[in-house]
Structure 1
């Protein structure tokens, strides 16, 4: 269920991570993984992963026994957790690692969701990094990225408009424009003008 979200050369690492994920779920939900999937392109290859997972988080002592790549895989998987605190914890750990390009779809996806603290944390970390790899990924997934931008705006409008009355100052907008490279050119679908 998770193999399609990672490069084939990580098959054994993903298998090892899946073995240690608890079978227990939050609130005894009867499924561990949502039927809805996220699908992106990454360097021309399709990447697919669950929209949400409901499994309880992995204990730190278990996480610490994993290799570097296995930890990165686990952080990616748990960035899809139904619990916002768990998503934030694993996303933060992922952002502070020397993550590889295959982690980018997971990072970008979390940023079109409704937890403003995750947007703030992600922006704070990414604004200090070279984000060309994120911009390339977003250009490759132009239509989906535009939908993500629209989702981010709708959550601002629904939940944060009172606190951040001027959208141009909203942290989600700053993250999408500065770190992910969003511009009006994305909406026009003209790849030559993205650069």
Structure 2
């Protein structure tokens, strides 16, 4: 059992999911390094502390197949924090359509990261986040309204990565991360 991961994973999810989080943390291969950094968000009034980077190897397919649907989502959320961008994207693809409130911070965090292909994946999946009445609009709008400081920090990161890596490829308002953040801000004002 990777007790460092269990200690890191439990505060990353709502307390009522603890019985689902523990078996996931215990089933994962041990990491070569301890989790690095954290970020804090609010989900339905509960403070969560999510790891910024994890270094656990991916579990074998048979380990994942033994997990309940909720446990599988927890695993995929955790691996969106993996140090390898390919692993992050693979696991993001498994949860991107979900609207469980506790999944949303794992997706929003990635919008403020530097891997353009992953940001584009999110933009393609969340095409209706700006449309009132849709499940994504409601779920992401609630999260954005509850986390204005996190949204501001994510916005600053988006601007910084755009300026550093993508300014010659996109006007700022057409950068996928900027479009997503504008949609989240709009959704937060009516949710």
User: Do they superpose with TM above 0.5?
Assistant: yes
Runs of 4+ more than 6 Å apart: none
Match of 1:32 among 31, 34, 55: 34
TM-score by length of 1: 0.84
CA gap of 1:6–1:154, structure 2 versus 1, over 3 A, is same
RMSD: 1.8
Decide whether the 8 Å contact of 1:113 with 1:155 is kept in 2.
Answer: yes
Show the counterpart of 2:140. Answer: 134
User: Using the alignment, how far apart are the partners of 2:123 and 2:114 within structure 1?
Assistant: 15
Q: Which runs of 5+ in 1 are unaligned?
A: 26-30, 184-190
Decide whether the 8 Å contact of 2:100 with 2:139 is kept in 1.
Answer: no
Match of 1:158 among 134, 139, 164: 164
Show the counterpart of 1:181. Answer: 185
Task: State yes or no: 1:48 paired with 2:53.
Answer: no
User: Using the alignment, how far apart are the partners of 2:60 and 2:158 within structure 1?
Assistant: 31
Decide whether the 8 Å contact of 2:44 with 2:101 is kept in 1.
Answer: no
Decide whether the 8 Å contact of 1:72 with 1:99 is kept in 2.
Answer: no
The DSSP-based 3-state class of the residue aligned with 1:48 is strand
* Range 124-133 or range 99-108, more displaced: 124-133
Decide whether the 8 Å contact of 2:79 with 2:88 is kept in 1.
Answer: yes
Show the counterpart of 2:15. Answer: 8
The DSSP-based 3-state class of the residue aligned with 1:102 is coil
